[in-house]
């Protein structure tokens, strides 16, 4: 079974400052890793994912995350945040590969609040 830990429940940062949202996972098998974003009063959206290959993955809106197998981490970073990045961010994990039983396990979420 897999599990995900997001150590920070809330992260307040000033606009244009850098940010890192931490995520650690636990699994006895190979995993896929995801970051989802939930904007206020909206559904979940996939922000970025790691499946295989390059350990650094990027989103279209400037976020990036790096898969670190030795530290079992998948931290999310952005060099300069905007007010529009205010949202809840969920790290998630699933067993690599596909089976009808594959499911995504979510972390507890990190609320990113941007101050002007």
Partner 1 sequence: GAVVSQHPSWVICKSGTSVKIECRSLDFQATTMFWYRQFPKQSLMLMATSNEGSKATYEQGVEKDKFLINHASLTLSTLTVTSAHPEDSSFYICSARGDQGSYEQYFGPGTRLTVT
35 is a site residue for partner 1 (CB under 8 A): no
Interstrand relation of 110-115 and 10-14 (parallel, antiparallel or unpaired): parallel
Selected from 85, 90, 93, 114, the binder of partner 1 by CB under 8 A is 90
Selected from 37, 105, 112, 114, the binder of partner 1 by CB under 8 A is 105
109 is a site residue for partner 1 (CB under 8 A): yes
CA angle 21, 86, 49 (to 5 degrees): 50
Instruction: Write the CB contacts of 70 (distance below 8 Å, at least 6 apart in sequence).
Output: none
Cα–Cα distance between 26 and 28 in angstroms, integer? 7
Residues 40-79 that bind partner 1 (CB under 8 A): 42-46, 49, 51
- Sole window of 19-27, 38-46, 55-63, 76-84 interacting with partner 1 (rule: CB under 8 A): 38-46
């Amino acid at each position: 079974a897999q599990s995900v830990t997001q150590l920070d429940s809330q992260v307040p940062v000033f606009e244009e400052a850098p940010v890192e949202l931490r995520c650690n996972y636990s699994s006895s098998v190979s995993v896929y890793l995801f970051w989802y974003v939930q904007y206020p009063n909206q559904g979940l959206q996939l922000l970025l994912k790691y499946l295989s290959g390059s350990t650094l993955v990027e989103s279209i809106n400037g976020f990036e995350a790096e898969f670190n197998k030795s530290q079992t981490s998948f931290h999310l970073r952005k060099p300069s945040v905007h007010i529009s990045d205010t949202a809840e961010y969920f790290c998630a994990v699933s067993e690599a590969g596909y089976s009808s039983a594959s499911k995504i396990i979510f972390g507890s979420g990190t609320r990113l609040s941007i101050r002007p």
